[in-house]
Amino acid sequence: MKSYNLEAFKGIIIALYSSYDAEGNIDKEAARKLARHYASTGVKGLYVGGSSGEGMLQSVEERKQMLEAVIAEVGDKLTIIAHVGAPSTRDSVDLAVHAELVGAHAVSAVPAIYYRLSSDSVESHWQAIIDSTSLPFIIYHIPQTTGFQLSKSLLIKMAEQDKVIGVKISAESTFELQQFKAAGGNEFLVLNGPDEQYLAGRSIGADGGIGGTYGVMPELFLKVEQCYVHGDMAEAQKWQFIINDLIVELLSFPSLYGACKAILSLRGFETGKPRMPLLPIKDSDQDRVEALNNRILEYILEAKG
């Protein structure tokens, strides 16, 4: 049995967008404001420095600044998972040690990127992170961007360690999610990654989810979760289908990140433009973003009602 409180990591966890000022530097006050807002919505926690947070496009120091701001604001209210994956093991360990120092509740990491690594290399990379702190560790499996396919044998081996409490699986197959849950066992968390498959993931074994589009519609994902927990699958499907329609429209912009940041700006949360090469929305798309934002807000009102 794991010695950590696994309940703290179950449910809706927002993959937090980073906040930048007009010059593209980390804006700690804006980050705190956004984190404070999310704490009021009823979500379980925040995942800081992942794909949605543009962690791979930031310096180690910038990633530390974002995490510090979030923990200072809501570290006593929400579960904070620090994504510390980096191209080098050395930077990942540095980020993990810092995460524990400032009060994160867990660390998570993708395999080191760019090089095509063997399972032994990835295991050594993750093990160095695990050994650097006393925090629980969550594997981040996203093969479509890292190029690394996590095997069940490596998952089982890693899960034997008390510190390794789960995996965030952003692979596109819910079959793989179910297989990982079966391999890890009841005391091993599986967190759904693809937002458009949240309900599918939950129904096949996921303990919750971590997602970027949660950030512009957390209330809708909370609604799906509520319906699922209460056994109302028809209502849960209805809301997942609504979410998926909204995701399709979000994906029609030059970048998902730019669209989500533009929507947050319309609501008074300035997070700046995404860092290049990620693209902001075009001026010509502003009317369409506003219309989409209004649609989302209408659905949020319905979900709350």
Handedness of CA 27, 28, 33, 39 (dihedral sign): positive
For residue 53, give the DSSP letter.
T
Query: Could you tell me the two tokens for 125?
Result: 């990379």
Q: Give the pLDDT confidence score for residue 74 in this predicted structure.
A: 98
- 171 neighbors 144 (Cβ within 8 angstroms): yes
Phi/psi-derived region of residue 49, left when phi > 0, alpha when psi is between -120 and 50, beta in every other case: left
How far is residue 73's CA from residue 254's CA, in Å, rounded to a whole number? 32
β-pair type (137-141, 164-169)? parallel
How far is residue 108's CA from residue 83's CA, in Å, rounded to a whole number? 5
Residue 1: pLDDT over 80: no
* Average pLDDT estimate for 142-149: 93
DSSP 142-202: -HHHH-----HHHHHHHHTSTTEEEEEE-SS-HHHHHHHHHHH-TTSEEEE--GGGHHHHH
* Average pLDDT estimate for 187-205: 97
Residue 168 is a catalytic residue: yes
Phi first, then psi: give them for residue 111, nearest 5 degrees.
-60, 160
Residue 214: pLDDT over 80: yes
Residue 113: pLDDT band (50, 70, 90) is: confident
Residue 2: pLDDT band (50, 70, 90) is: confident
Residue 140 is a catalytic residue: yes
Calculate the CA dihedral of residues 165, 167, 168, 171 and round it to 10 degrees: -170
How much is the CA Rg of the chain, to the nearest whole Å?
A: 18
% of the chain surpassing 70 pLDDT: 100
Determine which helix (DSSP H) or strand (DSSP E) holds 297, and give its type and residue range: helix 286-304
CB atoms closer than 10 angstroms to residue 100: 16
Which listed residue (4, 140, 214, 257) is catalytic? 140
Which listed residue (168, 181, 223, 261) is catalytic? 168
Q: Give the pLDDT confidence score for residue 38 in this predicted structure.
A: 98
Residue 173: pLDDT band (50, 70, 90) is: confident
Amino acid at residue number 199: L
- 236 neighbors 242 (Cβ within 8 angstroms): no
Q: Give the pLDDT confidence score for residue 305 in this predicted structure.
A: 85
* Average pLDDT estimate for 228-251: 98
Nearest one of 79, 102, 83 to 5, comparing CA atoms: 79
pLDDT tens for 61-102 read 999 999 999 999 999 999 999 999 999 999 999 999 999 999
How far is residue 266's CA from residue 289's CA, in Å, rounded to a whole number? 9
Cβ neighbors of 51 (< 8 A, separation 6 or more) are 15, 142, 145, 170, 212
Query: Could you tell me the two tokens for 305?
Result: 């009602």
